[in-house]
Structure 1
Amino acid sequence: MDNLFPLLFFLLGLIFGSFFNVIGLRVPHKQSFTYNRSICPKCKQQLSWYELIPVLSYIFQQGKCHNCKMTISPLYPSVELGTGLIFALCYVKTGLDLELVTAWLFVSLLVIIFVSDIKFMLIPNRILLFFFPLFVIARIIRPLDPWWSSITGMLAGVMIIAIIIVISRGGMGAGDMKLFGLLGIVLGFEKTLLTLFLSCVIGAIIGLILLLLEVIDRKQPVPFGPYIVIAAVIAYFQGDFLLNWYFHNLF
């Protein structure tokens, strides 16, 4: 049975990934994601159940709307597949422990933010406010060691980004600052700093590649949220290894 858990949680992640796509796309526009049925944004045709199967519908429809043949963004299946893989990885990391719930909540926030920021360059306050009490409760039930690392992580995340915003005169947004505050609750002080460092490195590398490929220009604003998301996932799953390697080799 234990061998089936990764598969079950992968399938669960596929389903939730599809749902997170909807939340990330609708909340910035203050649209309901619980009652309104999914429609094609071009022809407005209501999507049937067989058009909403995570990943498989995209493959079977060859990435196009069944009705009007509009190209469907690869973001949808990518988010679904990524969520499925990370949900399974959460189980591999934590086992059937209370930390698994925290891990899933953490991933859920990150996926939603990834979608909303990459599409609209916006990190919605409604999403952050929804997850804030859940993270606090999760860390009360399953605290870090030491427990106060969640508090220092949250404070460090908010204060460092606030300083960057002031110095850079808007180089980062208030949404990034609030997001780092939430990440600090889950990750703790050291992994929050690691997330900030990794997000800057990842952003610099990807930004340089996009510039060289002429996908963007130097003056074009780009969302920083996706880089934070990638860095936070790395910090959560491999933070201990990276920090131990750093302190062992450099000190």
Structure 2
Amino acid sequence: MTFLFTLYLFLLGLACGSFFNVVGLRVPLGQSLVAPPSSCPSCGQRLAARDLVPVLSYALSRGRCRHCAAPVSALYPAGELAAGLLFVWAYLRFGLTAQGAIGALLASLAVIVTVSDIRYMRIPNKVLLAFAPVLLALRILYPGEHPILYYLLGALAGGGLLLAVALISRGGMGLGDVKLLAVIGLVLGWPGTLLALMIGSLAGTIGGSIQLRADKRSGDGSARQPIPFGPYLALGALIAYGCGDALIDGYLNLFT
């Protein structure tokens, strides 16, 4: 029974991931989520149902449009697969509980933000405003072991820290990242938010270094591309939500 339900959640996550791609790609441009129908960005041909099966359509077409053979971004199947795996993770980690539902919502936000930030270097306010009240309501109803102030301080600490960084760096940090960490703070509380920021910063440093090396090898080292920080913050948030208490306790035990 557990296997069948896990499989169901994976398939549900794949389907939701397809929608999350649409949200992440259309909302920053101010486009409708329902019109026009999905089409090839190269030739404009409307996609049929066979072209819209999550992950499988991409694999069968070998990552190319059936009509014009133009390459299709791997971002599409990556978002779908990530959503499927993260839905399963939330269930296996927390079960059918409020914490599991919050984990699935956090995963959904992470996928949308990652798609949007990678494609446009933007984290849309509309997406954050859609998730923030839902996550806040769930935290009020299901605060767990902590009072609601614990999570409000997380939002204040996360948003405040990155806002200071954004002001000091004079554009080096986007305000979308500031708002994202504030929303993450509603889920994690203040210690978990700091942990998410630390993990995200470490992952971003590693990812940025790899990207710079790749640019140099390809001859593009002179034109440095900005590095989206949202995906790394999302990764840090998911790790902190899943095992933050264990990581913090393990760190503190090093000094006792």
Determine whether 1:189 maps to 2:190: yes
**Matched residue, 1:206:** 207
Tell me the amino acid that sits aligned with residue 245 of structure 2: D
TM-superposed CA distance for 1:29, in Å, is: 0.7
Alpha-carbon separation, structure 2, partners of 1:96 and 1:130: 23
**Matched residue, 2:252:** 247
Alpha-carbon separation, structure 2, partners of 1:103 and 1:201: 22
TM-superposed CA distance for 1:145, in Å, is: 2.3
State the secondary structure of the residue aligned to 1:188.
Answer: helix
Q: TM-score, normalised by structure 2?
A: 0.94
State the secondary structure of the residue aligned to 1:222.
Answer: coil
1:231–1:217 CA distance, 2 compared to 1 (3 A): farther
Q: Which moved more, 1:210-219 or 1:174-183?
A: 210-219
Alpha-carbon separation, structure 2, partners of 1:158 and 1:94: 27
**Matched residue, 1:238:** 243
Alpha-carbon separation, structure 2, partners of 1:60 and 1:5: 26
Structure 1 contact 6–89 (Cα < 8 Å) conserved: no
TM-superposed CA distance for 1:91, in Å, is: 0.2
Structure 2, unaligned stretches of length 5 or more? none
Q: TM-score, normalised by structure 1?
A: 0.96
State the secondary structure of the residue aligned to 2:36.
Answer: coil
Alpha-carbon separation, structure 1, partners of 2:142 and 2:35: 34
Alpha-carbon separation, structure 1, partners of 2:99 and 2:233: 21
Alpha-carbon separation, structure 1, partners of 2:159 and 2:95: 31
TM-superposed CA distance for 1:167, in Å, is: 1.7
Alpha-carbon separation, structure 2, partners of 1:118 and 1:3: 33
Alpha-carbon separation, structure 2, partners of 1:3 and 1:69: 38
Displaced runs of 4+ in structure 1, greater than 4 A?
none
Q: Which moved more, 1:237-246 or 1:43-52?
A: 237-246
State the secondary structure of the residue aligned to 2:254.
Answer: helix
Alpha-carbon separation, structure 2, partners of 1:5 and 1:76: 25
**Matched residue, 1:167:** 168
Cα root mean square deviation, aligned:
1.3
Query: Deviation string for 1:148-193 (max 9, x for gaps)?
Result: 2111100101111111112222221111111111000001111100
Tell me the amino acid that sits aligned with residue 181 of structure 2: F
TM-superposed CA distance for 1:206, in Å, is: 1.0
Determine whether 1:179 maps to 2:184: no
